[in-house]
Structure 1
């Protein structure tokens, strides 16, 4: 007697579409890693070039958060058929004359729920800080100081300064997971 074959429950779930408000491969991969670690679901993660509507190098929590939020909202406007929209924006700020770097992550879903989180911060060397204060974007300053090319689409400052111990994908993916807390705990988050 032949028994009917059991279907894999994971295969029966509909693949959900996530749109990242950037074509930067680090942001796309970080989102992919974060969603797959947080949920037992099938996801397709795609990037879209959308405006952050803030400075090329955001300064301070407010401007950096606004950039991430705008990226998520603008991705939703451009591609409303998705299930989630993600904005990731890196920024800098000064404390007592020293500059630190960080990023904000904003996640939106179809139901109108928003998740948000900030990465850990780390201080930048003065040679990089001076270039950023002079109007250069952090990624370009890193490229100049560390003789790199397009480091913002690679390991970025965090990877360069930690000598690869902390890679940028993991750094951002942790914040993506933290931004997913409201979606993992829907009954206690409005």
Structure 2
């Protein structure tokens, strides 16, 4: 397989497919981090672990995309990280946009709930994480989850192409 994404989430698969203009194999691989990553560092590590696991399962290029939250000051922010790994040992990482979470969403996350579960209750849509996601809700539909991840995939793939051209 040429391209794989370490997730079966349709928003993540769509983000990678739109960038590489090819089919992408979704692989159910562990992130190796908590179900609700609670820092940039943990979210980044989840993306890296997913990308590397794709390569270990035979992908030429493996993508890992991970959503999480991070505390900046007293505000909880949505954060997203991506990683791209290849069979030659290259590892590229990039982060996406951050937006603050309203208190009514941040409070249950701080109490131990996952963002996806909180957003499902908030929107009455149990599959919101597979569609617009928190970013889609909190931007009033101006940016969907797949679009946010597309931004990260562009950063990853662009860096990869640049670095490979100077290898």
Q: Quickly name the TM-score band, shorter chain normalised.
A: over 0.9
| Residue 130 of structure 1: how far off its partner (Å) | 0.4
Q: Counterpart of 1:115? A: 92
Q: State the match for 2:45 in structure 1.
A: 66
Offset at 1:162? 1.2
Rounded to whole Å, the distance in 2 between the matches of 1:149 and 1:127 is 18
Determine the structure 2 residue equivalent to 1:24. 9
Worse-matched range after superposition: 54-63 or 139-148: 139-148
Match of 2:81 among 100, 104, 123: 104
C-alpha contact (below 8 Å) 2:55/2:87 kept by paired residues: no
- Kindly indicate whether the alpha-carbon contact (under 8 Å) linking 2:39 and 2:70 is maintained by their aligned counterparts in 1: yes
Question: In structure 1, what is the equivalent of residue 106 of structure 2?
Answer: 129
Q: How far off its partner does 1:149 sit?
A: 1.4
Aligned counterparts of 2:11 and 2:20: Cα–Cα separation in 1: 14
Distance 1:44 1:140 in 2: 29
Q: Distance in 1 between matches of 2:109 and 2:10?
A: 23
2:65 to 80, 88, 102: 88
Decide which structure has the larger Cα Rg and report it. Answer: 1
8 Å CA contact 2:55–2:86 kept in 1: the answer is no
Q: Which range moved further: 48-57 or 146-155?
A: 146-155
* TM-score of the aligned structures, taking structure 2 as reference length: 0.94
Deviation string for 1:30-50 (max 9, x for gaps)? 1111223xxxxxx22010111
RMSD: 1.4
**How far off its partner does 1:92 sit?**
0.3
Verify the 8 A CA contact 2:37 2:43 in the aligned structure 1: yes
Partner Cα separation in structure 2 for residue 180 and residue 75 of structure 1? 16
Q: Which residue of 1 aligns with 2:24?
A: 45
Q: Which residue does 2:165 correspond to in 1?
A: 187
Q: Which runs of 5+ in 2 are unaligned?
A: none
TM-score in terms of structure 1 length: 0.83
Give 1:110 deviation, angstroms. 2.2
Quote the Cα distance in structure 2 between the aligned partners of 1:50 and 1:127.
31
